[in-house]
Amino acid sequence: MSIELWYWPQIPGRGEFVRLFCEAFEIDYTDMAREQNADALVEHMHAMEGIRPFAPPYIVDDEVVIGQTALILQYLSDKEGHGSGEMELDLQLLQLQIDIADFVEEVHSVHHPIASGLYYADQMEAAFDKAQHFRADRIPKYLIHFDNAIAARGGPFVLGQQPTHVDTSLFQVMEGLDYAFPNYMKQMQGSWPHLEGLQGAVPEIEPLADYLASENRMEFNEDGIFRHYEELDEQ
């Protein structure tokens, strides 16, 4: 049965982390709000009873409803048999996926440092200051952390030769940073060689290559999480 993915239809956002995993591992899913619209997503969220996800993305798998990107990926990976087969290692993969979620939140807070309910134009000054710290401290701290995780087993993926949900997510992180901070990422090229290796290896996972070349693959844009504003990428 097809899994329902519910996510905002206009942006790649956090939904893309779920899509990439499903596409790479050929998990059948229906992108509900892209087939319908954003109103359908809002209606669906409000109609749910019991313990509900706080925000999209979430999935519906028959009776099971799960929110939080990291948890969705862990659930699907476990269910479809794409984990390591060892509980401790699977938990470490989840740990990395939660690190990625933390980083994604920080990426968003660069262009929305004061409030996510305000427009970027209303918080540009704070965003400019925040971006300088983000580029100088936070990007290298996180990327070196992820690079070390890949290096532990020699790459190209975190588990070595076997790709997992962490690899498809790290790929999206690197693509997003290249889009949002092209000057910075160019200047820092070679600083995280294992991550760069992973970024080259993930698109070679065959079903994913087809998806990435298709029109279903959504471009980054200035309504999403990874946004390109020249002033935030000034060197």
Ligand X SMILES: N[C@@H](CCC(=O)N[C@@H](CS)C(=O)NCC(=O)O)C(=O)O
Which tokens in the block code for residue 49?
């009873």
Amino acid occupying residue 170:
L
Q: Measured in Å, how far apart are the chain's first and last C-alpha atoms?
A: 49
Q: Minimal distance in Å, beta carbon 186 to ligand X?
A: 27
Nearer to ligand X, 6 or 157 (CB): 6
Nearer to ligand X, 68 or 172 (CB): 68
**Do 56 and 6 form a contact (C-beta atoms < 8 A)?**
yes
Binders of ligand X among 34-63, rule CB under 6 A?
55-57
Nearer to ligand X, 14 or 135 (CB): 14
Which tokens in the block code for residue 144?
């070196």
Binders of ligand X among 90-109, rule CB under 6 A?
101
Tell me 81's DSSP state: T
Q: What is the torsion angle, in degrees rounded to the nearest 10, for the CA atoms of residue 202, residue 206, residue 208 and residue 213?
A: 110
Kindly determine how many residues on this chain lie close enough to bind ligand X according to the rule CB under 6 A. 8
Q: Minimal distance in Å, beta carbon 96 to ligand X?
A: 14
Q: Pick the binder of ligand X from 12, 14, 22, 32 (CB under 6 A).
A: 14
Q: Minimal distance in Å, beta carbon 113 to ligand X?
A: 15
Residue 172 in contact with ligand X, rule: CB under 6 A: no
User: Taking the mean position of all CA atoms in its chain, how far away is CA 90?
Assistant: 18
Q: Minimal distance in Å, beta carbon 71 to ligand X?
A: 8
**Nearest C-alpha neighbor of 130 from the set 115, 144, 116, 109:** 109
**Do 140 and 191 form a contact (C-beta atoms < 8 A)?**
yes
Nearer to ligand X, 16 or 196 (CB): 16
Q: How far is it, in rounded angstroms, from Cα 217 to Cα 3? A: 18
Residue 68 in contact with ligand X, rule: CB under 6 A: yes
Q: Minimal distance in Å, beta carbon 151 to ligand X?
A: 26
Residue 77 in contact with ligand X, rule: CB under 6 A: no
Q: Pick the binder of ligand X from 13, 155, 163, 176 (CB under 6 A).
A: 13
Q: How far is it, in rounded angstroms, from Cα 124 to Cα 130? A: 10
Interface residues toward ligand X, by CB under 6 A: 13-14, 55-57, 68-69, 101
